[in-house]
Amino acid sequence: MAIIELIKILDIGGNEDVDAGVVELKVPDIGGHEVDVISVEIKVGDKVAIDDTLITVEDDKATMDIPADSAGVISKVCVQVGDKISEGSIIAIIGNSSENTHLKKQE
């Protein structure tokens, strides 16, 4: 059985399947308020593993690294330094590629 078929059967394809093989990496629950992006650690073509830092954000109380909850190859980066983001904002997309199998972090 192909890995992609197994991933679909096990439903470990990522946050949202926008299209077959495409996963949106989103901001998790960060307290319900906007934060500033102060660092972007990824670029198109990067291979990311689960728990790799995608971006660093800051509010008036803390600085936080936002990790990947899925693994794969970045096909699009949706944020840049200076952006204000909140829970559910799309950070990046793991793209549709024959070599781009992705796994989601088990909760």
Residue pair 8/102 in contact by the 8 Å Cβ criterion:
no
pLDDT in tens, 86-97: 999 999 999 855
Residue pair 85/97 in contact by the 8 Å Cβ criterion:
no
Residue pair 44/94 in contact by the 8 Å Cβ criterion:
no
pLDDT in tens, 13-67: 444 444 557 899 999 998 889 999 999 999 999 999 999 999 999 999 999 999 9
Report the relative pairing of strands 53-58 and 70-77 from DSSP bridges.
Answer: unpaired
Residue pair 76/61 in contact by the 8 Å Cβ criterion:
no
Worst-scoring range by mean pLDDT, 8-12, 60-64, 69-73, 97-101?
8-12
Say whether pLDDT at 12 is over 70: no
